[in-house]
Structure 1
Amino acid sequence: MRQQAGILYVVATPIGNLGDLGERARLVLGEVDAIAAEDTRATRRLLAHFGISAKLIAYHDHNESELTPRLLDMLDSGRSLALVSDAGTPLISDPGYTLVAAARARGLTIVPIPGASAVICALSASGLPSDRFLFLGFPPRAQARRRAWIESVAREPGTLVLYESAKRALETLRDLRAVLGDQRRLVIARELTKQFETFLLGSATTLITRLESDPEQQLGEMVILVEGCPDSETQTAHNESIRVLRILSESMPLRQAAALTARLTGSKKNALYRLGLELGLGVKSP
């Protein structure tokens, strides 16, 4: 029995283990008229694993604006379409928003077929609070923008969840420590649902040391989770220490500025000095 015509199905696919594909998703992928896929090679492997033959249409960041009208016309003509990403749930840091938003604006039927999502997968097994969380996607690549991006969510009380490529993980961890301090718990969830799935828990410094000492932990796909903002007094004190350190370091060497800031705010001198180094503060000694 064929699926009802003219429906856009948003289908979650496995993020690693192909066995995680649900039965309903298998039926939909086998019965739609076409599948719009972010990576047709990855989707073709998935379909072959389950013996599914389907028409694939490449739909990704570089062609979604151009291709969306064509896909809408297919839906308008009564044909059914499945939207899938490379892995996980479409639109979650993956293509698909343009199509879904346009289909919704036209009043077309959109049906979600739930399944794997790296965000939820990582959060559920992280050991960090899950009653409130904020998904941030990928951080900016430039350090200045990345630090401003982290500062914008520094007061968020819920768990922060972000994606990062393995090759930039150390840079992002250092920026998280510089902006948020080293008191929060962090978790790195790596290679989820795959053979080398790993969860690492600790402070930013602990995780930085672990990645630096074990190059294998710098491979694969990562989800980084950060404990939410502690009580407002603690965060306010940290922000005040940074403010004082910035001011003093404009007129004296960093080590001296860190020592004086520690006396004024009660923060630890060594932690302030390390923070200042990461922020590039302090005038050079003659």
Structure 2
Amino acid sequence: MTKLYMTGLAAATAAVLYAITRVQNWGILCILVLLAALWGTRKDAKPISWIQFMPAGFITLLAFFVIYTYANPLWEKVVGWQTSSVHHIVNWNEWFNSIPLNDAAFLRVWQPYWLTKYMQWVYSYGFTLSYWICVIRAFFTKDVRKLGQYSLAGYLLQVPLILPFYNTILLQEVWHVQGTPDLLERGLTGDDVFFTVINCFPSMHTSIAFAAILLAYREKSRWYRWVIGVYGFSIITATMYLKIHWVLDVAAGMLFAYGCVKLSDWIVGSRFYAAFTERFEGLGRKLEAARPSRSRPEAGRETTKDIA
């Protein structure tokens, strides 16, 4: 019975993981970055069995996926409401454009074709990929607390907390303010331009990537820290290289990410979150206890092979 139950959970988890890769139609390069981040996961894995972890892990992963799936359409509605109803308190376009080096022109002194294409790819997928890489890896560490923290700091806290900035400050993308071509080559025309370029301060691409970096540097795996560090800072650089965000947008995004990480520390360290994880992990412990004694792993050992 336990084996059948675990097989069903494993199949359901695989379906959710596949669905995550379809959120933004990840290509082979995205999958390779994900696999690179998963290498060496067992160095940071919690010393419990998959039987004990899977019920809580699957429920948590599924919940975050459902929230993320419905958050994107909701975000589009919010931006649509902004364009028709919000009257921003301040307009920072001229001020930001007048600040020396704020347009990050120093990053475009050298612009080979391959580098521009790399930056376009990084920016296009960075919003979702940097978040889900961390969440998926946290799942494979068998740690519900870590899974919750990456989700909270990397997205769930950021969306509602960033809206007050976007609803009060009008700051548009660098290329639009300066009247130059869109280096991301999105082919925006007419109303699409205004709908797309209005929310710049702080940079959310930067805040999601930097939150991932801050949390990754708490992990033991040096390889993982390098993967997230290189990819995360590539995203941050791409926002400026492609004339999407101003330097001060990026600095504000990093400060915003730091605040979200600290807030997530407080939430996952609270009694409420401890009670939440205890409740959902209880089913896994019951399944573990129900296994025949001869098949139980020794304490601290895992019978299912971890990712290398």
TM range (shorter): under 0.3
Query: Of Structure 1 and Structure 2, which has the larger fraction of its residues in strand?
Result: 1
Query: Of Structure 1 and Structure 2, which has the larger fraction of its residues in helix?
Result: 2
Q: Which has the larger radius of gyration?
A: 1
Alignment TM-score, normalising by the size of structure 1:
0.24
